[in-house]
Amino acid sequence: MAILKVSRMGHPVLRQKTKPLAPDQIPGVQQLIDDMVETMADYEGVGLAAPQVFQPLRLTVLGYPDADPENPEDLPLTVLINPEWVSLSEEKELGYEGCLSIPDIRGQVPRSTRVEVRALDREGKPFSLRAEGFLARVLQHEIDHLDGILFPDRMEDFSTLTFLEEYYRYWHKGAS
């Protein structure tokens, strides 16, 4: 296991559209998946896509390794290989997002409120999941990374861009 260096906005690897993994490539990325999970946890992120660790692969991890299954806010650790998503709702909602590749910045991004994602798990088995709210947002953010898209590309109102300290001071739920 290793904590990997995270690529930052401006590095071309974050702008490449990734190629799907072939079945015979999946055994070769098991160490990378473990390292991505460890890196995400160390940076206290909720998602990490392969281009963020300089790998132009269609692979992302999200959630918390020690998630409480009783708590729906606590996203279980999920590995997605070759994910694709469709919206299940016309509705979009605004929410603040951050990104380990854009440190210490938050901004409001409109996202579909309900999505269905199809992907392969780390063993290469197909699965699908339906998500809403925060998980739907995280899935859209991470899959965007696999298409070379960063959250500012999706923003409609740049006046909501904020540094993290000011975010917690003025815009975070519960801010005074």
DSSP conformation class of 52: G
Q: Is 73 a catalytic residue?
A: no
- Residue 50 in contact with Zn ion, rule: CB under 5 A: no
- Residue 29 in contact with Zn ion, rule: CB under 5 A: no
Identify the residue among 4, 62, 99, 138 touching Zn ion (CB under 5 A): 99
Catalytic pick from 142, 156, 165, 166?
A: 142
By C-beta, is 29 or 99 nearer to Zn ion? 99
DSSP conformation class of 25: G
Residue nearest to Zn ion (CB): 99
- For Zn ion, which stretch binds (CB under 5 A), given 68-76, 92-100, 103-111, 165-173? 92-100
Question: Measured from the CB of residue 145, what is the shortest distance to Zn ion in angstroms?
Answer: 6
Region for 156 from its dihedrals, namely left if φ exceeds 0, alpha if ψ lies in -120 to 50, beta otherwise: alpha
Region for 9 from its dihedrals, namely left if φ exceeds 0, alpha if ψ lies in -120 to 50, beta otherwise: beta
Residues counted in the chain = 176
HSE, side-chain direction, 13 A CA sphere, residue 48 = 29
- For Zn ion, which stretch binds (CB under 5 A), given 94-102, 114-122, 132-140, 153-161? 94-102
Distance, in Å, from the CA atom of 19 to the CA atom of 21, rounded to the nearest integer, reads 6
Q: Which residues of the chain form contacts with Zn ion (CB under 5 A)?
A: 99
Query: Catalytic residue positions?
Result: 142
